[in-house]
Amino acid sequence: MQKKGGNVSLNTYADIFSTEQSRAEDRLEKVREIPLAELHPFKNHPFKVLDDESMQRTVESIARFGVLSPAIARPSPDGGYELVAGHRRHHACELVGMETMPVIVRDLDDDAATILMVDSNLQRETILPSERAFAYKMKLEAIKHQGMRSDLTSTQVAQKLSVQQVGDEAGVSKDTVRRFIRLTELIPELLDMVDQKQIAFNPAVELSFLKPEEQKQLLEAMDYAQATPSLSQAQRLKKYSQEGKCTFEVMCTVMDEEKKTDLDRVIIKQDVLRKYFPKSYTPKQMEDTIIRLLEQWQRKKQREQER
């Protein structure tokens, strides 16, 4: 007679003595102390790591409290680890003189790593237009690579859905995403001028439609005119480019025009005004005094006309 229970398998020693809590802990990501020298920057990382006031605050915080939030990295095929999130913390640790920093290591493919890298950096308070432009572009490409089935979704629809997703997750419209990505078509010199607020965002988007050689000539035209393009000037330059008429001479002519804002604006240099005010006066006090004197002058003129 066959014995009952013949198919019962014995639990392992680990199964018998492990608890649900310990099994849950095994599944959790662990923070590891990894040498700074083994952590390498993310390929084509679009966010600049600057030694500015914000970095100084980070350095002071880490020196006092340590790294409160671990970085995220993935194993690198060339050895060591590729940083996905935590480039500024890594640099701050170097400045403090630390040899290691806390890191969570994840196995991420290129697309997942790119999306995580962009999303973690877009949370920063201050982001340059160039950083946002390349970040949106990298995330858009990564999303498009992630399993969008061509048999169910056309390429055009897939593109619209991807741009919409980037915008939704960044809290901006899809049109804003597209316009920022246009900035990646600017040559580095012009893009730097956008970051430095020498060229406004909207004119910069229009200038991105110029061919690279035309953009280089535009730099010379701006130097010639000692001016940067307004929106209307940039739009005309874009139109001339599309018509094949955007020559250096045309650019100089456009850039040499007096802008309406310049015609409507009166500028008095501060060094001219300084001789009329005490050295202790701030620009605000100078402005208030000028306005008060003008109001007195206006009232005096009105009384004279009433006589």
Residue 266: the pLDDT is 60
Please tell me what DSSP assigns to residue 185. G
H-helix or E-strand containing 9?
none
Residue 273: the pLDDT is 80
pTM of the model: 0.70
- CATH for the stretch 18-108: 3.90.1530.10
204 three-class SS = helix
Kindly give the pairing relationship between strand 81-85 and strand 39-40: parallel
Whether residue 66 has pLDDT greater than 70 = yes
> Positive or negative, the Cα torsion across 242, 259, 177, 108?
positive
The pLDDT confidence band at residue 124, using thresholds 50, 70 and 90, is: confident
13-22, 31-40, 298-307: the lowest-pLDDT one = 13-22
Whole-number Å distance between alpha carbons of 267 and 228: 18
Determine contact, residues 240/250, Cβ cutoff 8 Å.
yes
Residue 304: the pLDDT is 74
Residue 268: the pLDDT is 72
Residue span(s) of the chain under CATH 3.90.1530.10 come to 18-108
For the stretch 97-112, pLDDT in tens is 999 999 999 999 999 9
Choice between 240 and 276, residue whose per-residue pLDDT is larger? 240
Across the beta sheet with 31-35, the strand order is: 31-35, 100-105, 71-75, 81-85, 39-40
Whether residue 20 has pLDDT greater than 90 = no
Instruction: Please provide the distance, in angstroms rounded to a whole number, between the alpha carbons at the two ends of the chain.
Output: 132
Choice between 138 and 15, residue whose per-residue pLDDT is larger? 138
Counting residues of the chain whose pLDDT is more than 90, the rounded percentage is 64
